[in-house]
């Protein structure tokens, strides 16, 4: 049984309330007592983890009205009614309307504990099923946003799905253009913080004299030109997520202040001595090796260790060439919508050129190329073609293209070698040899 599950007892008789609290406390069941339905409604929010026990006869809103309002908020919330002798028929009718059970006064502590345990078990199971459904929906949505069939991308999506709904700080490492901000946005959107602010700040895009005010905020007249109070990025992200891109560019003196905020979960605006409580998840991104920078005194090691509770490494596009056709087709479709033009087709020669290119700008560069092609322009500019000429050899390019075709065929046919071989027009034994050569055995079965 989850330790977070709590019993909320709604009872205006102080003696009965105390008896319920003591009976549950002796069984190590967490409980909170309130004297009215109004107080109970104030405590039961969308994220309430627990059950409610309520007397039917209450001042103001009665127990039956409370039941209706609670079930309207959360249909899976177990609500147990406490009844007097004359209220039994009323309680039976309420159970038809969604009440979990009822307890008739006077009741023994054993009866109370028995009903509560059953209700808590049902609540725990319902929440577990809900969490599993949300995780499944999240994984499906992640596949639509983080496109790729390569092992690296499958592993990345799995890691994001596992950590998104936690409060752990995350450090995203990757070259320019690999999609660090998209990953940060996914971490926020697939968490319970999704309804709260997502605040992004590029640490390399601000002059140092403005950085402190931008991130921590300031009071009016804190410095020359500060005409009014400003809420900083951290405070604005309270309850949500703060994305700090290019964290390696943050000045060392401000790294100390950020570390203090992360440790104490409070900040002080410039010009103020008043601590402000903040609760935001920090997602940082870097294209540099922060550990190495720390050893050379260019980045605070203590901040690095505070940030990299979870580290997500984004692979460069050249290390997942099998994802290029799928990504390029996706970007072509987006470009066609954007420019109101039909999406151009892809021939094998163009696909081979795309697969062979080294992509120094990664996914961002690939998207730009797709937009150029959709506008009827050459796939590569002359400079890019020259770079390609000094990149992979002919044999390497052919191998990369072949691997892409094989991976795509296996994906379309669910790993079935026989069906994939027929689609590719080759013998099954030939395909089997090529699958082993390109390390695609995990994507294929022996059928």
Decide if pLDDT at 384 tops 50.
Answer: no
Model pLDDT, residue 183? 96
Query: How far apart are the two ends of the chain, measured CA to CA in Å?
Result: 44
10 Å CB burial of residue 280 (0-12, 13-18, 19+) is: buried
The residue among 427 and 249 whose pLDDT is bigger is: 249
Structure confidence at residue 289 (pLDDT): 95
Task: Give the model's confidence band at 434: pLDDT under 50 very low, under 70 low, under 90 confident, else very high.
Answer: confident
Q: Token pair 């990953």 is at which residue?
A: 183
Low-confidence winner among 66-75, 307-316, 335-344, 391-400 (lowest mean pLDDT)? 391-400
Per cent of the chain over pLDDT 90 is 48
9 token code pair: 């007892």
Alpha-carbon torsion angle 114, 115, 116, 117, nearest 10 = 50
Least confident of 81-95, 175-189, 248-262, 292-306: 81-95
Q: What is the pLDDT of residues 174-189, one digit of tens each?
A: 999 999 999 999 999 9
Kindly calculate the radius of gyration of the chain based on its CA atoms and give it in whole angstroms: 29
Least confident of 25-39, 121-135, 355-369: 121-135
User: Could you give the percent of the chain with pLDDT greater than 70?
Assistant: 90
- Residue bearing the bigger pLDDT, 346 or 81: 81
Q: What whole-number distance in Å separates Cα of residue 238 and Cα of residue 261?
A: 12
Q: Does residue 133 have a pLDDT over 70?
A: no
Q: Which range, 77-86, 122-131, 289-298, 404-413, is most confident?
A: 289-298
Q: How far apart are CA 433 and CA 59, in angstroms?
A: 79
Q: CA-to-CA distance for 231 and 216, rounded, in angstroms?
A: 7
Task: Write down the pLDDT at residue 398.
Answer: 66
- With helix as H, strand as E and coil as C, how does 307-340 read? HCCEEEECCCHHHCHHHHHHHHHHHHHHHHHHHC
pTM score, whole prediction: 0.62
Is the pLDDT reported for residue 312 higher than 50? yes
Q: For residue 347, what are the contacts with CB-CB under 8 A and spacing of at least 6? A: none
pLDDT band at 388 (very low <50, low <70, confident <90, very high): very low
Which superfamily does CATH assign the domain made up of 6-129 to? Response regulator (3.40.50.2300)
Residue 447 has what pLDDT? 52
Euclidean distance between CA atoms 427 and 424, whole angstroms: 9
In this model, does residue 390 exceed pLDDT 60? no
Query: Any idea which of 84-88, 268-272, 291-295 has the lowest mean pLDDT?
Result: 84-88
255 or 419: whose pLDDT is higher?
A: 255
Separation CA 355–CA 402 (nearest Å): 10
Residue in 378, 377, 383 with CA at minimum distance from that of residue 361: 383
pLDDT in tens, 65-99: 999 999 988 888 999 999 876 677 777 878 887 88
DSSP-derived pairing of the beta strands 266-267 and 50-55 = unpaired
Q: Mind listing the pLDDT tens digit for each residue in 193-239?
A: 988 999 999 998 788 778 888 999 999 888 887 888 889 999 999 99
The beta-strand segments (E) located in 6-137 are 6-10, 31-34, 50-55, 79-83, 101-104
Instruction: Cite the residue boundaries of each domain of the chain with CATH code 3.40.50.300.
Output: 146-315
* pLDDT level of residue 3 (50, 70, 90 thresholds): very low
Burial of 198 (0-12, 13-18, 19+ CB in 10 A): buried
- In this prediction, residues 142-169 reach a mean pLDDT of 89
**Residue 70 · residue 97 · CB < 8 Å:** no
How far is residue 183's CA from residue 153's CA, in Å, rounded to a whole number? 11
The DSSP code for 45 is -
Residue 405 has pLDDT above 80, yes or no: no
Per-residue model confidence (pLDDT) at position 260: 93
Distances (CA, A) of 333 to 72, 157, 206, 338, 418: 42, 23, 35, 9, 31
* pLDDT above 80: residue 132: no
Ordered DSSP codes for 118-182: HHHHHHHHHHHHHHHHHHHHHHHHHHHHS---SHHHHHHHHHHHHHTTS---EEEE--TTS-HHH
Query: Cβ(63)–Cβ(54) under 8 Å?
Result: yes
CATH 3.40.50.2300 positions along the chain are: 6-129
Say if residue 370's pLDDT is above 80: yes
Say how many residues make up the chain: 447
pLDDT, position 233: 94
For residues 335-346, give the mean pLDDT.
86
CATH of the domain spanning 146-315: 3.40.50.300
């Amino acid at each position: 049984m989850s330790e977070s599950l709590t019993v909320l007892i709604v009872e205006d008789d102080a003696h009965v309330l105390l008896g319920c609290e003591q009976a549950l406390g002796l069984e190590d069941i967490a409980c909170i007592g309130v004297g009215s339905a109004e107080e109970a409604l104030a405590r039961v929010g969308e994220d309430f983890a627990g059950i409610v026990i309520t007397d039917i006869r209450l001042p103001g809103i009665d127990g039956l009205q409370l039941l209706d309002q609670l079930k309207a908020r959360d249909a899976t919330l177990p609500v147990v009614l406490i009844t007097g002798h004359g209220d039994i028929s009323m309680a039976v009718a309420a159970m038809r309307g969604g009440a979990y059970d009822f307890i008739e006064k006077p009741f023994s502590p054993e009866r109370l504990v028995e009903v509560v345990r059953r209700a808590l078990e049902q609540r725990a199971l319902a929440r577990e099923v809900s969490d599993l459904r949300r995780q499944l929906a999240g994984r499906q949505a992640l596949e639509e946003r983080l496109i790729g069939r390569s092992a690296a991308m499958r592993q990345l999506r799995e890691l994001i799905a596992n950590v998104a709904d936690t409060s752990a700080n995350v450090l995203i490492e990757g070259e320019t253009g690999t999609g660090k901000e998209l990953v940060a946005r996914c971490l926020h959107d697939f968490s319970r913080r999704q309804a709260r602010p997502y605040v992004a700040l590029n640490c390399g895009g601000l002059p140092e004299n403005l950085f402190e005010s931008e991130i921590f905020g300031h009071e009016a007249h804190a410095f020359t030109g500060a005409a009014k109070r400003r809420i900083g990025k951290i405070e604005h992200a309270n309850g949500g997520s703060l994305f700090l891109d290019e964290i390696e560019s943050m000045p060392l003196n401000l790294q100390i202040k950020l570390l203090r905020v992360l440790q104490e979960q409070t900040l002080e605006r410039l010009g103020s001595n008043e601590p402000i409580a903040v609760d935001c998840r920090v997602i940082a991104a870097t294209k540099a090796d922060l550990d190495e920078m720390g050893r050379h005194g260019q980045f605070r090691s203590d901040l690095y260790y505070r940030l990299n509770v979870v580290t997500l490494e984004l692979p460069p596009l050249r290390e997942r060439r099998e994802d290029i056709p799928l990504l390029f087709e996706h970007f072509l479709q987006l470009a066609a919508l954007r420019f109101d033009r039909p999406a151009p087709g892809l021939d094998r020669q163009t696909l081979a050129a795309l697969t062979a290119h080294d992509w120094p700008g990664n996914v961002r560069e690939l998207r730009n190329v797709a937009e150029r092609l959709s506008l009827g322009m050459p796939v590569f500019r002359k400079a890019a073609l020259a770079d390609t000429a000094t990149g992979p050899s002919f044999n390497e390019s052919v191998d990369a293209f072949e691997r892409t075709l094989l991976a795509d065929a296996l994906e379309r046919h669910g790993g079935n070698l026989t069906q994939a071989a027929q689609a590719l027009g080759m013998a099954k034994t030939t395909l089997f040899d090529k699958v082993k050569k390109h390390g695609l055995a995990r994507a294929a079965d022996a059928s």
